[in-house]
């Protein structure tokens, strides 16, 4: 697939996206397109975006991630963000950013169990 900006791992019906690149605006948009098309192609039921390497998340990037989650939800897929660094979370909270549509988890393991739970409840 062209336009792949992030490496992804498929595990069961889950798509794990460890973000290992600096997110600029076009990258974040390309990542959104990539995730949505992989959901469709690979029959994904849950997406885990690992942001543990990200040290700056601003309002636009947060908005795009949240928009991705809402679109994924419309495709029957839950989205979990895991590993957010504490100072990144603190900064977003102080700015008043509210990431709608997203489930948060501490790490991959926590993310997987939250996805399983979200599936059970839906």
Binding site residues, ligand ATP, CB under 6 A? 59-60
Question: Is residue 62 near other proteins by the rule CB under 8 A?
Answer: yes
Residues 6+ apart with CB under 8 A from 68: 31, 32, 35, 36, 79
Which residue in 35, 42, 99, 41 sits closest to 71, CA to CA? 35
Which listed residue (30, 33, 58, 110) binds other proteins by CB under 8 A?
A: 58
Helices (H) and strands (E) in the chain, counts: 4, 5
Judged by CB, which is closer to other proteins: 39, or 92? Answer: 92
User: What are residue 119's phi and psi, to 5 degrees?
Assistant: -65, -45
Q: Which is nearer to ligand ATP, 52 or 64 (CB)?
A: 64
When CB distances are held under 5 to 8 angstroms depending on the partner's kind, the choice from ligand ATP, other proteins, none that residue 122 binds is none
Binding partner at 52 among other proteins, ligand ATP, none, C-beta below 5 to 8 Å by kind: none
Q: Interface with other proteins includes 88 (CB under 8 A)?
A: yes
């Amino acid at each position: 697939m062209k336009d792949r900006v992030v490496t992804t791992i498929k595990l069961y019906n889950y798509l794990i996206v460890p973000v290992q690149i600096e997110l600029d605006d076009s990258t974040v948009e390309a990542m959104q397109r990539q995730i949505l098309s992989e959901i469709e192609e690979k029959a994904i039921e849950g997406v885990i975006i690992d942001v543990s390497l990200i040290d700056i998340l601003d309002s636009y990037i947060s908005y795009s991630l949240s928009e991705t989650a809402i679109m994924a939800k419309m495709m029957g897929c839950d989205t979990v963000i895991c590993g957010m660094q504490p100072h990144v979370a603190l900064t977003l909270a102080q700015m008043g950013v509210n990431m709608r549509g997203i489930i948060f988890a501490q790490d991959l393991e926590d993310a997987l169990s939250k996805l399983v739970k979200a599936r059970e409840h839906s």
